[in-house]
Structure 1
């Protein structure tokens, strides 16, 4: 890899024991850790440790998924691991530049990036990089929160990720979805604000009232062959499944329901995967990271099957 990219990464134990990334290996998908959080929350700090924890928990996974896929995605995709970028919590400009540079490098080499955050702010520089390569990019954002809040005093925080993306015209908001929004909110009328930005908002109540299969099938029909950036915030799951996330939120799907929803995304043209907000200091069992590793494996199966 070029010097400017190698100089912004650091080594860690690889996901499921795969090899280090090397351009000559012609990998179709690459794991990359983004150990960054804004560092502004007075209590729930620690998402910067998410990538390491997810990789550690991945060591006990097997590559096949019973009853769903007999493909080994590690082999079919020649999956490799880029390591973690060398990021410092709270240093937005430096982190954003490094993330965008690294993603751009992978995309130039026709690789699908599979990234581990970090908090939800890491999604913005990733979208900046992907927008250069996919002019009609859309987002599927599974999250208890829209992360498309009005910008008040500070432009960059975990609540404004998709507000910034809309303002910068990085994605086609009118065909992008926030799915699973629910729970206590810091401001009123947040769903309406996200819709004013152009997004389609599907609350958790709507998702289960209409039925996840029907909702996902409608989304797949609408998106057809569009390039999809899949952003999966782990607090999409109910707090009982993922106590170790930045903002655990009750009323979400169980692990079984959430993974089933992910399986139903098969057939989409997924060009990037972002799994974020695992916060290991708040989960001594590491089950939140273990579930995130399963989400990553299942997402890799979606790419390999399609």
Structure 2
């Protein structure tokens, strides 16, 4: 987006952090480690002004910076998670909101660890076609389907106040929703979401969290593959681009203290569609953040 490179300085309210990591365990869609690079490339199309939404330079108002990528080796899970958490913690310590670009969904766990260090009572709002709160075996604890299981068990987030929104599609095993709910999470399927409407759903979530700090995790496969083909685990029947933008904008007023956008997998993308949509969603999130911080003019 043309942001200055470097770590947050005094007055900076938001910092982009690339997390070029995937576990390398997907049967045939490995490549989300390339996501940060492609999202940055597509972000060159982003324009700073939105006449009907925020006709001001939001990026300058936030003093936003691009903090670069975490230095890591994809596939070395334990070492990479330590490095991701440390990099995010440096941003959180400055008071800026870290905005992670994945990477597969597993990167949310070390990012949540960093956020939970500072923000007590953290809750998660997870927008995804999957709960990523699956059971795990002792030899496969960390993968792109277990980050919210680990987050609940480690006490990083208050699962009883955390929601998974947009869940749909087939799974590899039975009992997924029961396991997620057993951890304390609330699950809103995409059928529930579209029937209830975005405004009503988010208003209920907002009442539940009552101003507490929120970690926003946005998995790009919540979108339909027709608009975001380059994701790790596509599932048909997802949100249109227009619906996703509307859902994100409906989060106005939440106390979002950290966020990530994950699962863009460039080797499976078509003309950079998923990466470009991801860069747009990050810009929408920055506008939302500026509004929630009271930085936008009336």
Q: TM-score range by the shorter chain?
A: over 0.9
Task: Render the CA deviation track for 1:110-166: whole Å, top value 9, x for unaligned.
Answer: 111011000000000111111110110001000000000011241111111100111
Task: State the secondary structure of the residue aligned to 1:17.
Answer: coil
State the partner residue of 1:245.
231
Please provide the CA RMSD for this pair.
1.1
2:84 to 85, 88, 99: 99
For 2:41 and 2:262, how far apart are their aligned partners in 1? 15
For 1:247 and 1:71, how far apart are their aligned partners in 2? 36
Q: How does 1:211-226 map to 2 (within 5 A)?
A: 211-226=197-212
TM-score by length of 2: 0.95
Q: How does 1:109-124 map to 2 (within 5 A)?
A: 109-124=94-109
How far 1:25 sits from its partner (Å)? 5.2
State the partner residue of 1:300.
286
1:275 touches 1:292 (CA, 8 Å); kept in 2? yes
2:124 to 107, 116, 139: 139
Q: How many pairs were matched up?
A: 291
Structure 1 outlier segments of 4+, above 3 Å? 22-26
State the partner residue of 1:10.
none
How far 1:66 sits from its partner (Å)? 4.2
Answering whether residue 254 of structure 2 is matched by residue 268 of structure 1, we say yes
How far 1:21 sits from its partner (Å)? 1.8
Task: State the secondary structure of the residue aligned to 1:195.
Answer: helix
Stretches of structure 1 that go unaligned for 5 or more consecutive residues are 1-15
State the partner residue of 2:296.
none
For 2:8 and 2:196, how far apart are their aligned partners in 1? 45
2:176 to 170, 180, 190: 190
1:71 touches 1:301 (CA, 8 Å); kept in 2? no
For 1:275 and 1:161, how far apart are their aligned partners in 2? 14
1:124 touches 1:165 (CA, 8 Å); kept in 2? yes
Q: How does 1:34-73 map to 2 (within 5 A)?
A: 34-73=19-58
1:142 touches 1:232 (CA, 8 Å); kept in 2? yes
For 1:49 and 1:207, how far apart are their aligned partners in 2? 31
State the partner residue of 1:290.
276
For 2:172 and 2:8, how far apart are their aligned partners in 1? 45
Stretches of structure 2 that go unaligned for 5 or more consecutive residues are 293-298
State the partner residue of 1:88.
73
TM-score by length of 1: 0.93
How far 1:181 sits from its partner (Å)? 0.6
